[in-house]
Amino acid sequence: MAMSGSSASGRAGRPISPDTTAAILAAARSLVVVHGFAAVTTAMIAAEAGASKQALYRRWTTKADLVLEAFLAQAQAEVDDPAAAEAGDDRLLAFLRRTCAALSTSGPALRSLMAAAQEDDAFRRRFHERLILPRRAALRAVLAEERPAASTEALDLAVTALFGAIWYRLLLDEPLDDDLARRLTALVRAGM
Amino acid sequence: MAMSGSSASGRAGRPISPDTTAAILAAARSLVVVHGFAAVTTAMIAAEAGASKQALYRRWTTKADLVLEAFLAQAQAEVDDPAAAEAGDDRLLAFLRRTCAALSTSGPALRSLMAAAQEDDAFRRRFHERLILPRRAALRAVLAEERPAASTEALDLAVTALFGAIWYRLLLDEPLDDDLARRLTALVRAGM
DNA sequence: ATATTACGGAACCAATAGTACCGAAATAGG
DNA sequence: CCTATTTCGGTACTATTGGTTCCGTAATAT
């Protein structure tokens, strides 16, 4: 492949190829989208990427870790406020709608990652830090905008209820549609 | 063991021993509480119960299925309105408190079952039907009592937000304490 | 040049859910 | 009783797959 790089890492020896890294991530993403996390083996990912399994495990400690990274950038770009929305919009409703929409494609993968997090403490910490927390921060910012007086604790509880409901439905195979986003918005604003 | 039974099943041949069934369930429960779902193998359960693996698979299709049944009765008895609570109590708050309290012991097992449900459609359906739905019905009944005018749809959404928040925190290893129950109660009643 | 590291490829290991088969024991129906 | 049927505990087995190790080779830093 191309050499792409000009000797700038502190280490000696042949440097890690960014092309190989990208190929592995792309292979993981497409395979998992099609077959689901459990049905995709590390051997399949390596083959699809034209790489060796060793190339995978040199970069990530675990299959779950690799798939997490493969879906991170995508999820972030799709949900976190593209174009910052024009003023006057319902920012909260728009955020929840984008979240539900994004989960229609990456949802199955995220479900599997949440499942993997249940049996692996180290992975759960990374999952929490790299996927859960950034999403929470983004939603909290949206909420803070419309409730500037609310305490951090109150905002966090609302974030928990909103993402909690969405994850609950995702994990139980129930639809995540615009209507859910709308009703959750109303619930958290006005109560039952 | 005792023979316990007096020839009342339609089938010919030696009948399934309820004693063996009970021993397997008890073994599964105690082993999973101590070591966690993933660390307990079917061979360990069989050995602890003084049974064979075949005895397990004659009764349940899957390890997850067996563990689900092992925790069902317990979870139900602990949460669903023991003694129906005296009038004047805050029924909703009490229900959520019992839920959180029960999860301090059976929570780890339920997390693993939720994880297993993500990769096995047939098991997810049983999990949904036997654990999730009964809990939802119980909570909805409590809510309906204090909001007799509310639509079924509105009640269901509140149930989703409440259980969603609790599952979300359970799966992410965050504490489920009385304070959470109190704040969730307030949120769903009064809004953010 | 030389040491170092990544590369693809292939063989390998360990763990374990679930199955198959055994001879023995328990039951139903005749 | 007798016989077909089924469960019993026990043991061996299969199949799958994360993750590791080792190979000879290629790319890079000094």
Verify whether the Cβ–Cβ distance B165 to A167 is below 8 Å. Answer: no
Among residues A63, A58, A59, A68, the alpha carbon closest in space to that of A43 is found at A63
φ, ψ of residue B95 to 5 degrees: the values are -60, -45
pLDDT band, residue B82 (cuts 50/70/90) = low
Q: Please provide the average confidence, as pLDDT, over all residues in chain B.
A: 91
Q: Is residue A84 exposed (0-12), middle (13-18) or buried (19+ Cβ within 10 Å)?
A: exposed
Asked if residue B76 has pLDDT above 90, the reply is no
pLDDT band, residue A2 (cuts 50/70/90) = very low
Asked if residue B13 has pLDDT above 50, the reply is yes
pLDDT band, residue B12 (cuts 50/70/90) = confident
d(CA A79, CA A83): 11
Rounded to 5°, the CA angle B95-B97-B101 comes to 120
Asked if residue B75 has pLDDT above 70, the reply is yes
Q: Does residue B135 contact residue B160 with C-beta atoms inside 8 Å?
A: no
Among residues A119, A41, A17, A32, the alpha carbon closest in space to that of A75 is found at A32
Asked if residue A58 has pLDDT above 90, the reply is yes
d(CA A21, CA A25): 6
Using a 7 Å cut-off to protein CB atoms, list the covered nucleotides of chain D. Answer: 4-12, 17-23, 26-30
Residue A5 is predicted with a pLDDT of 38
Q: Please provide the average confidence, as pLDDT, over all residues in chain A.
A: 91
Asked if residue B14 has pLDDT above 80, the reply is yes
Question: What does the pLDDT average to over A9-35?
Answer: 93
What sign results for the dihedral spanned by CA atoms A21, A27, A28, A29?
positive
| Percent of chain B with pLDDT strictly greater than 70 | 91
pLDDT in tens, B116-155: 999 999 999 999 999 999 999 999 999 999 999 999 999 9
Asked if residue B32 has pLDDT above 70, the reply is yes
φ, ψ of residue B147 to 5 degrees: the values are -135, 65
Query: What is the SS3 assignment for chain A?
Result: CCCCCCCCCCCCCCCCCHHHHHHHHHHHHHHHHHHCCCCCCHHHHHHHHCCCHHHHHHHCCCHHHHHHHHHHHHHHHHHCCHHHCCCCCCHHHHHHHHHHHHHHHHHHHHHHHHHHHHCCHHHHHHHHHHHHHHHHHHHHHHHHHHCCCCCHHHHHHHHHHHHHHHHHHHHCCCCCCHHHHHHHHHHHHHCC
d(CA B89, CA B95): 11
Using a 7 Å cut-off to protein CB atoms, list the covered nucleotides of chain C. Answer: 3-11, 16-22, 25-29
pLDDT band, residue A191 (cuts 50/70/90) = confident
d(CA B76, CA A77): 42
Question: What does the pLDDT average to over A115-132?
Answer: 97
Verify whether the Cβ–Cβ distance B167 to A163 is below 8 Å. Answer: no
- Is-above-0.85 flag for pTM? yes
Q: Is residue A51 exposed (0-12), middle (13-18) or buried (19+ Cβ within 10 Å)?
A: buried
Query: What Å distances lie between residue B97 and A23, A187, B183, CA to CA?
Result: 49, 22, 11
Residue B11 is predicted with a pLDDT of 79
Question: What does the pLDDT average to over B17-35?
Answer: 97
Residues near B62 by Cβ (< 8 Å), separated by ≥ 6? B120, B123
- What's the CA–C1' distance between B41 and C19, in Å? 16
Question: What does the pLDDT average to over B40-51?
Answer: 98
pLDDT in tens, A127-161: 999 999 999 999 999 999 999 999 999 999 999 99
Question: What does the pLDDT average to over A44-52?
Answer: 97
pLDDT in tens, A65-116: 999 999 998 887 777 766 565 566 899 999 999 999 999 999 999 999 999 9
Residue A77 is predicted with a pLDDT of 78
Residue B2 is predicted with a pLDDT of 40
Q: Which residues of B touch A (CB under 8 A)?
A: 36-38, 111-112, 114-119, 124, 128, 132, 143, 147, 150, 153-155, 157-158, 160-169, 171-173, 183-184, 187-192
Rounded to 5°, the CA angle B64-B23-B18 comes to 100
Structure tokens at B172: 């992410």
Residue B77 is predicted with a pLDDT of 79
Between residues A88 and B54, the one the model is more confident about: B54
Between residues B12 and B86, the one the model is more confident about: B12
Residue A8 is predicted with a pLDDT of 56
Residue A25 is predicted with a pLDDT of 97
d(CA A73, CA A77): 6
Question: What does the pLDDT average to over B5-32?
Answer: 86
Residue B88 is predicted with a pLDDT of 67
Structure tokens at A17: 């190829």
Distance from CA of A18 to the nearest CA of B (A): 32
Structure tokens at B121: 């459609």
Helix (H, G, I), strand (E, B) or coil at B2: coil
The conformation of residue B83, written as its DSSP 8-state character, comes to G
Structure tokens at B179: 């304070």
Among residues A78, A54, A164, A158, the alpha carbon closest in space to that of B192 is found at A158
